[in-house]
Amino acid sequence: MASLDRLFVDCSVHKLRELMDRIDVCLSQLSQEQIWARGSENENAIGNLVLHLTGNVRQWIISGVGGQPDTRDRPAEFAARNGSTEELKAHLRQTGEDAAEVIEGLTPDRLATRLTIQGYDVSGLDAVYHVVEHFSMHTGQIIFATKMLTGADLGFYRHLSKAEPRGAGR
C-alpha cells in the first residue's frame, strides 16, 4: 500500500495533468477572438486565465517549492490582450510538466518544510494543495466560458451517461 505522502503527490500530479488536458480541449474549440474576448475591462479573458495559471504554478511550485528563481510578472498576466493558441497551450503544458516533476520528487520532509511564497508562510503540502485548488477553480471558469462561447458539450463526463444505474447488476 502506498504511503499517504505518495498518494497525495500522485493525486496532485494526476489532477494537474487532467486539468491541463481540459484546458487544451477548450482552447482547441475557440477562435483567437474568443480566447481573448472580455465583456468588460473588469473581466479576464480565457487567455489571461491561462497566463495567470502558468504564472501561479511557476511561482508556487517551480520557484517556491522547487527553488528556481521567481520571475513572475503577475500584472502582465492580466494586461495581455493577445497571444497564439499554440503558444498558450505549449507554455501551460511545459510549466505544468515542470511542476509535475517538482511535485513527484517531494519527500515527506519537503512536504512539511515551511516556505514563504507570495508573502504567505506555507508548507510544501500547502503549496501543492493551493496550486491544484487554484488550477481547478480557473479551469472551471475556462470550461464554463468555453461552453457559453461555443454551445458545445465538451464531453468530459459523457461516460457517466452510459453508466449502469446505481445498484444495477448487484
One pLDDT digit (tens) per residue for the chain, 170 residues? 889 999 999 999 999 999 999 999 999 999 999 999 998 988 999 999 999 999 999 999 999 999 999 999 999 999 999 999 999 999 999 999 999 999 999 999 999 999 999 999 999 999 999 999 999 999 999 999 999 999 999 999 988 887 656 655 54
By the 8 A CB rule, do 5 and 105 touch?
no
Give pLDDT, residue 168: 54
What CATH number has the domain bearing residue 44?
1.20.120.450
- From the list 72, 82, 1, 79, the residue with the least C-alpha distance to 36 is 82
Q: Is residue 128 part of a domain?
A: yes
Q: Is residue 69 part of a domain?
A: yes
By the 8 A CB rule, do 154 and 29 touch?
yes
Domain count, the chain: 1
Q: Is residue 83 part of a domain?
A: yes
Q: Is residue 169 part of a domain?
A: no
Report the alpha-carbon distance of residue 116 to residue 67 in Å, rounded.
Answer: 11
SS3 content of the chain, % helix, strand, coil (to 5): 65, 5, 30
By the 8 A CB rule, do 45 and 37 touch?
yes
Give pLDDT, residue 158: 87
Q: Is residue 168 part of a domain?
A: no
Q: Is residue 140 part of a domain?
A: yes
Report the alpha-carbon distance of residue 76 to residue 67 in Å, rounded.
Answer: 22
Q: Is residue 113 part of a domain?
A: yes
What are the two backbone dihedrals, phi and then psi, of residue 110, each rounded to the nearest 5 degrees? -70, -35
Report the alpha-carbon distance of residue 155 to residue 160 in Å, rounded.
Answer: 10
Q: Is residue 167 part of a domain?
A: no
Note down the domain range covering 30. 4-162
